[in-house]
Amino acid sequence: MMTYNGYKLKCDYSVSEAIGIIIIWIIISFFTLGLGLFVMPYYVLKGPINKTTLINENGEKVGQLHVDVHLPEIIGHMIIWVLLTIVTFGFAFFIYYPAVVKRLLNGVQIR
């Protein structure tokens, strides 16, 4: 396990939680004619981040990772990427996902 100055990250996100979230987003995407797929990465990636704790060398919890995702922020980012995806016949979506990861990781706080 990788450590930094004796600190480790421990994620308590379960496979059943992931499956449940993906099923919900597939249903949402069906009813939104695919537009839900542009919002989905934010909420799918938010789960594991918010279930991750910072553990010190003694095994004690010293912090909790937390990221807030608000729909108005997502929509502004999403509109640009929807247009780019349409213009590029879907290829921009492969760049959109890493851009979402970057935005989420830049918003992580340790509480």
Q: Domain containing 99: what range? A: 8-110
Mean of all residue pLDDT scores within the chain: 91
* Residue 106 placed within a domain: yes
The alpha-helical segments, DSSP class H, found in the chain are 15-31, 40-50, 71-87, 93-106
Residue 72 has pLDDT above 90, yes or no: no
pLDDT tens across 7-37, in order? 999 999 999 999 999 999 999 999 999 888 8
Structural domain includes residue 2: no
**Which among 53, 1, 43, 55 has a CA at the least distance from the CA of 18?**
43
Residue 1 lies in a domain: no
pLDDT in tens, 101-110: 999 999 999 9
- Supply φ then ψ for residue 26, to 5 degrees: -65, -45
Q: Is residue 65 part of a domain?
A: yes
- Which residue from 79, 78, 82, 98 is spatially nearest to 90, judged by alpha carbons? 82
Residue 59 in domain: yes
Does residue 56 sit within a domain?
A: yes
Backbone angles phi, psi at 11, to 5 degrees: -105, 130
Q: Say what the pLDDT of residue 5 is.
A: 84
Q: What three-state secondary structure class fits 47?
A: helix
**What's the pLDDT at 87?**
94
| Tally of domains within the chain | 1
| Residue 3 in domain | no
94 is a domain residue: yes
